[in-house]
Amino acid sequence: MSALTAATDLAWLTVAYAAELLRTKKLSPVEYAKALIARSERHDPHYNAYLRATPELALADAQRAEAEIMRGEWRGPFHGVPYGLKDIVDYAGLPTTAHSKILQDNVAQTDAAVTQKLRTAGGVFMGKLSTHEFAIGGPSFDLPWPPARNPWNRDHFCGGSSSGSGTATAAGFLPAAIGTDTGGSVRNPASMCGVIGMKPTYGLVSRRGVVPLAFSLDHVGTLTRTVRDNALMLDLIAGYDAQDPGSANHSTGGYTAQLGRDIKGLRVGVLRHFYMRDMQADPEIANGIAAAATRLAELGATVREIATAPLGEFAACNRTILTSEAFAVHEKWMRERPQDYGALARERLTSGAFVRAADYVNATRLRRKLTDAFHALFAGVDVIITSSSMDPACRIDDPKAVEYTYARQSRAPFNITGSPALSVPTGFSKDGLPLAMQIIGKPFSEALIYRVAHAYERATDWVNRHPVLV
């Protein structure tokens, strides 16, 4: 295979462009993998995106992909493309640690459903990515592995709990990563790191082989640097799985079908009260969303303000359900091995022990009420935009700032409703840190969300900016 010109930086290839180069034999999968391995080895000691890099597995996958492509055995748009997995997702033969001492020797016997799909598609597995402990306790400095850091400024928080997935994607260590989202854990690192993060409709992607946090709120999602890449990834991993009790038996695919279409006549609702009244967002966040709404209107959409239940009701409902279900998952270990948890995970999980059964039941009833009322909004709009984080990334070494800003978000409502929600960059703060918003749709409307996001992405240049690494 012929190499690309030296002027082409393999670190910033999109999945879509890399796929075309690989398919037409203008790029070698082995060359591609080696370039990203070298970049990660050079820079990741400063960012900790990888909990366990797997260069030998990556090269074996790349060599296999190269041989297949040379024989004309093209598997599709992920053949030979590197990816990583949040380390609560099983990869057979490797430990799934959940970034915790509790599971540091937990070797997966089989692949998770999402892993199976990416391997079948010919992906090149680069390694397991950092997470907050059990997707709830972090960023923590008292665990067997250090926390991931923000590639735009390593002294700052990169979001979580899919922290390594956000860092690795933004840093150019890989073009796509898998994360999970129970209260915003794909969209938070996407927001903080300036990449695209999708929490699909509840049940659209199987959670089989993924360490649970809260069964009724958990989602598997995708992080990429462009909207098209995100849609391509969702095409690969979505689908019904009878072995996942929460899986939705719904038709999937076609998530790239509407990309490139204009958005003239589409109705966009702005949930402004989430970040202007229920919580007061940092002005840079609010101004970024206002500018995005203006840009969508300039592209032909009809934009108007709408309202739903106060953000605090959604947050309380999510917190009650999440902590109750999380404690149920961890009760045995919490009784037998509490000292083996990091302090943050232990504190956050313990709170679930004090939620009364009546409170949990009432929260599930409130959830239905909130969900029905929210879904009713789509009688008058096609998509909704609102804030993701209320603040740019804070310093990672300031625990009070991390705790304060972590709770200041409007992502949890869409775990309650199960709605698809996409985090999209809206610019940068005066300090050079990413800003973001969410685009939300009714259940199973991912293709429409991607259409709107892609139109906005093409009308801005945020995805063309990359961090300079140390």
Q: Which residues are catalytic?
A: 86, 161, 185
Residue labelled with tokens 């923590």: 140
**Cα 34 to Cα 39: distance, rounded to the nearest angstrom:** 9
Is 301:267 a contact under the CB 8 Å cutoff? yes
The pair phi, psi for residue 101, each rounded to 5°, is -60, -30
Residue labelled with tokens 């009070």: 400
Strands 421-428 and 124-129: unpaired
**Cα 282 to Cα 267: distance, rounded to the nearest angstrom:** 26
Rg of the chain over Cα atoms, rounded to whole angstroms, equals 21
**Helices and strands (H and E) in the chain: how many:** 15, 11
| Assigned token pair, 115 | 């892993």
Is 162:181 a contact under the CB 8 Å cutoff? yes
**Cα 413 to Cα 419: distance, rounded to the nearest angstrom:** 9
Nearby residues of 361 by Cβ (< 8 Å), 6 or more positions away: none
Strands 267-270 and 421-428: unpaired
CA angle 105, 109, 111 (to 5 degrees): 115
The pair phi, psi for residue 447, each rounded to 5°, is -60, -40
**Cα 183 to Cα 412: distance, rounded to the nearest angstrom:** 4
The pair phi, psi for residue 196, each rounded to 5°, is -95, 130
Closest CA to 351 of 302, 304, 407, 307: 407
Nearby residues of 287 by Cβ (< 8 Å), 6 or more positions away: none
Q: Using CA of residue 104, residue 123, residue 11, residue 176, what is the dihedral sign?
A: negative
Bond prior to 161 in cis (omega within 30° of 0): yes
**Cα 43 to Cα 32: distance, rounded to the nearest angstrom:** 17
Is 141:37 a contact under the CB 8 Å cutoff? no
Is 383:441 a contact under the CB 8 Å cutoff? yes
If you write DSSP's letter for every residue of 203-229 in order, what string do you get?
TSB--TTB--S-TTT-EEEEEESSHHH
| Assigned token pair, 19 | 């796929």
Alpha helices in 85-193 (DSSP H): 113-120, 163-170, 187-193
